[in-house]
């Protein structure tokens, strides 16, 4: 069949699908028809796409579909649509639009640091990011929210004349291992039609099975909580000067009946939604203190604002500190916009400081930190946001941000910890910037206490 006949055949099929389809299908088909009808010269369009693939140096749609077909486990697909591209072409010409696309491509490349994550160029206006590791889903959703959407600098392109052109993204997101491309495209079209930054695909026909999956997750979590199968794993935090272990951070894991270890990604939401988060934290804390009692090393325990805003939780922490002491304990508070009353945080800090405990602010730099409020707090450590550390070798802005945060900490006599240190090169870079401590897979994975000789 020749090209013209193929196009006519596809148009006919699309027309029938549009007539018979539901509203979501019509949105997708309308988008496809608009792309086809805007192509006045198919050879030129194909040539331009080939040039764009070559310029962005990215795998294309065919590669994406092939990779999706090979998936064995659930994956996450983010489909990104470049907005304002048509007006840019009309005002500045195709060459400028092409430069904007290449700039977008380069910025997206900077945020991808794991081998389980791949960036694709789908056409002149779309990119896709395929995340094949479940443990990275939350990280890349955060990157999408904070780096792609909430960072105005990433929406700007500066021309040779110094003029700034604004072009941002709209995204559609899907999860699973089948029909990922279709579902992400549906979500993208919904986001575009509703003028929202992104949408996550929801299939009403799958609501029942989704509810069953959620109930199953809740059941597994509650059984583990009831049976005492919330277990601490420990990851070393290293002194940058002599590579000695400064302390171990305790990280929660859930142990299934068959011995399988599950990370917080799979059960933490269930704990929070089920209003048992405090009991979960208590069980975790008690087991950490038991290890603490048998050793002379230092430990870090994670707490949320929700934890320290609970009087019953504060009473429990005080009870544990009365029994075990706290001079080798650091309480890590997740730095989040949920902190709306810094007096609550200050009261907690003053209480644990009476026992000699230290305070760390976790994920510092990930959101909109209020430096003024933090300076007022009697804190000992700032743990730099891992997404910044993971990009430090490829993204100059991330490196400047980390450098600035370290200098800020030094000016207030606060020690810094770099997390997500996954390679020798990253370790050397953050050392050169003056970080005090390092944490990450390069120095040690989270393991049971026995592995690090803590039993």
Residues 261 and 218 in one domain: yes
Last residue of a domain, one of 202, 234, 252: 202
Report the 10 Å Cβ neighbour count for 390.
Answer: 24
Q: What is the pLDDT of residue 203?
A: 62
Residues above pLDDT 90, as percent of the chain: 34
CATH assignment of the domain containing 317: 3.20.20.450
Range of weakest confidence among 48-57, 225-234, 385-394: 48-57
Q: Express each pLDDT in 121-143 by its tens digit.
A: 887 788 999 999 988 888 888 88
Please check whether residue 304 lies inside any domain of the structure.
yes
Q: Over range 134-157, report the average pLDDT.
A: 78
Q: Is the per-residue pLDDT at 401 higher than 50?
A: yes
Q: Is the per-residue pLDDT at 204 higher than 70?
A: no
Q: What is the pLDDT of residue 353?
A: 96
Residue 321 and residue 355 in contact, taking contact as beta carbons nearer than 8 Å: yes
Residues 241 and 161 in one domain: no
Distances (CA, A) of 119 to 111, 114, 253: 10, 11, 31
Q: Express each pLDDT in 323-380 by its tens digit.
A: 999 999 999 997 555 677 888 999 999 999 999 999 998 877 655 445 666 667 899 9
Q: For tokens 């009403």, name the residue.
A: 204
Q: Express each pLDDT in 278-313 by its tens digit.
A: 899 999 999 999 999 999 999 999 998 889 999 999
Range of weakest confidence among 66-80, 87-101, 209-223, 288-302: 209-223
In the structure, what pLDDT confidence band is assigned to residue 154 with cuts at 50, 70 and 90? low
Residues above pLDDT 70, as percent of the chain: 77
Residues 189 and 310 in one domain: no
Residues 286 and 378 in one domain: yes
Q: What is the pLDDT of residue 297?
A: 95
Q: What is the pLDDT of residue 388?
A: 87
Please check whether residue 29 lies inside any domain of the structure.
no
Q: What is the pLDDT of residue 152?
A: 63
Residues 193 and 215 in one domain: no
Total count of domains within the chain: 2
Q: Which residue stretches of 309-341 are H helix?
A: 311-324
Instruction: Write down the mean pLDDT value for the chain.
Output: 80
Pairwise pLDDT comparison (38 vs 90), residue with the higher score: 90
Predicted TM-score of the model (pTM): 0.57
Closest to 232 in 3D by CA, of 187, 280, 275, 288 = 288
Please check whether residue 9 lies inside any domain of the structure.
no
Residues 186 and 274 in one domain: no
Show the tokens assigned to 347. 């009261």
Last residue of a domain, one of 133, 168, 202: 202
Q: Over range 46-65, report the average pLDDT.
A: 60
Q: Express each pLDDT in 225-239 by its tens digit.
A: 888 999 999 999 999
Range of the domain at 435: 211-452
Residues 147 and 221 in one domain: no
CATH assignment of the domain containing 43: 3.30.70.270
In the structure, what pLDDT confidence band is assigned to residue 14 with cuts at 50, 70 and 90? very low
Residues 223 and 175 in one domain: no
Q: Is the per-residue pLDDT at 210 higher than 60?
A: no
Residues 304 and 194 in one domain: no
Show the tokens assigned to 271. 């704990």
């Amino acid at each position: 069949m020749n090209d013209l006949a193929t196009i006519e055949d596809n148009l006919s099929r699309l027309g029938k699908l549009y007539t018979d389809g539901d509203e979501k299908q019509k949105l997708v088909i309308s988008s496809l028809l608009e792309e086809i009808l805007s192509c006045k010269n198919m050879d030129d369009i194909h040539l331009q796409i080939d040039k764009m693939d070559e310029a962005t140096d990215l795998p294309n749609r065919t590669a994406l579909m092939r990779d999706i077909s090979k998936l064995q486990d659930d994956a996450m697909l983010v489909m990104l649509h470049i907005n304002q591209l048509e007006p840019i072409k009309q005002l500045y010409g195709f060459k400028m639009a092409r430069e904007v696309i290449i700039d977008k491509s380069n910025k997206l490349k900077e945020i991808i640091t794991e081998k389980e994550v791949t960036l694709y160029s789908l056409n002149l206006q779309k990119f896709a990011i395929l995340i094949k590791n479940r443990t990275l889903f939350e990280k890349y959703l955060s990157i999408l929210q904070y780096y792609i959407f909430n960072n105005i600098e990433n929406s700007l392109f500066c021309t040779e004349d110094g003029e700034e052109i604004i072009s941002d993204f709209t995204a559609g997101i899907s999860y699973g291992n089948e029909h990922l491309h279709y579902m992400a495209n549906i979500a993208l079209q919904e986001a575009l039609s509703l003028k929202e930054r992104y949408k996550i695909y929801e299939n009403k026909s799958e609501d029942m099975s989704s509810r069953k999956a959620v109930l199953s997750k809740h059941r597994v979590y509650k059984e583990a909580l009831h049976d005492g199968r919330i277990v601490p794993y420990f990851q070393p935090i290293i002194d940058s000067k002599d590579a000695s272990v400064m302390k171990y951070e305790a990280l929660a894991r859930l142990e299934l009946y068959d011995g399988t270890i599950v990370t917080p990604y799979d059960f933490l939401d269930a704990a929070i939604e089920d209003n048992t988060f405090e009991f979960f934290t208590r069980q975790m804390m008690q087991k950490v203190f038991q290890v603490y009692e048998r050793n002379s090393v230092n430990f870090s325990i994670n707490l949320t604002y929700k934890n320290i805003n609970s009087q019953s939780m504060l009473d429990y922490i005080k009870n544990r500190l009365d029994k075990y002491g706290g001079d080798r304990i650091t309480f890590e508070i997740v730095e989040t916009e949920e902190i709306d009353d810094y007096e609550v945080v200050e009261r907690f800090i003053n209480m644990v400081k009476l026992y000699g405990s230290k305070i760390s602010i976790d994920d510092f730099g990930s959101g909109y930190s209020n430096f003024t409020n933090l300076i007022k707090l009697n804190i000992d450590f700032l743990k730099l946001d891992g997404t910044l550390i993971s990009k430090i070798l490829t993204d100059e802005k991330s490196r400047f941000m980390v450098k600035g945060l370290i200098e800020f900490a030094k000016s207030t006599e606060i020690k810094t910890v770099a997390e997500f240190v996954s390679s020798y090169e990253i370790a050397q870079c953050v050392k050169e910037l003056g970080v005090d401590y390092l944490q990450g897979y390069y120095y040690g994975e989270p393991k049971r206490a026995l592995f690090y000789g803590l039993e």
